[in-house]
Structure formats: structure tokens, C-alpha cells
Amino acid sequence: MNNISVLLKEAKNAAGRAYAPYSEFKVGCAILTSTGRIYSGCNVENVSYPVGTCAEAGALAAMINGGESEIKEILIYADSKQIISPCGACRQRIAEFAQGNAPVHMANARGEVKTLTIGELLPMGFKEF
């Protein structure tokens, strides 16, 4: 299996565990680290919308908790007809732990996948000063 297939499976599984009672919009994310480990996360809504958590943030927290800090590839899956991209905050979160050429795969329920680099998604992101 290639990386996209493995990451897609993990992200779909994570989306299946999402807590999305308000929007019913389930998102899962899977991260492949530079050491070959995979971490996943799902979106967690809250009745007070701004305090919800994106799937990417959950996967990143799991990665950091696992003692890792370098994203090799990341896949975001949405249980929708359209491919979605990470929100602006999550683009910056991903850029914190990925090289500019790291692939960001975005997949939907139809099985379509689009890949861009984090540099393409966030061309002028904040970096260390």
C-alpha cells in the first residue's frame, strides 16, 4: 500500500469517531512522521462553536504527545462530496512541523484526492524568527 492509501484509511477511521452533532460534518486527519509512525485526529465540536477542535489540531496533538515533531505527509479527509482544504489556522499549525515541500493530501467521500504542498497552501506562513 502507498502512503496515501494508508493515511486515507486512518483518516477515514478517525472521521468515523468525530464528534459533530451540530454540523454533522465529520473530518479526520492522519499524519505520517519522518520516523514512519502515523497519528490521527478527528474534529470535536462544541455547542460554543469557537471552542471546537479541528481534526488536524487533534492529530498534531497526538503526534507531539507521541514524542514526534516532524510531519512527512498529512492527509485530511472530509465525509463530503467536495474536497476540503485545511483552514488557515491549521495550515499554520501544519507548517510549524513540516518542511515547505511536505505533501498535504485532501480527500473526500467520493474517493477523490488532491495533493498540494504546505508551501503551496501557505506561501507566506510564519516561521521562526
Residue written as cell 485545511? 86
DSSP string computed for 24-89: ---EEEEEEETTS-EEEEE-B--SSGGG-B-HHHHHHHHHHHTT---EEEEEEEESSSS-----HH
Which of these is catalytic: 45, 56, 68, 73?
Answer: 56
The residues, ordered by sequence, that sit 6+ positions from 87 with a Cβ below 8 Å of its Cβ are 54
Active-site residue, 56 included: yes
End-to-end distance of the chain based on CA atoms, in angstroms?
A: 39
Q: How far apart are CA 32 and CA 46, in angstroms?
A: 28
Residues taking part in catalysis = 56
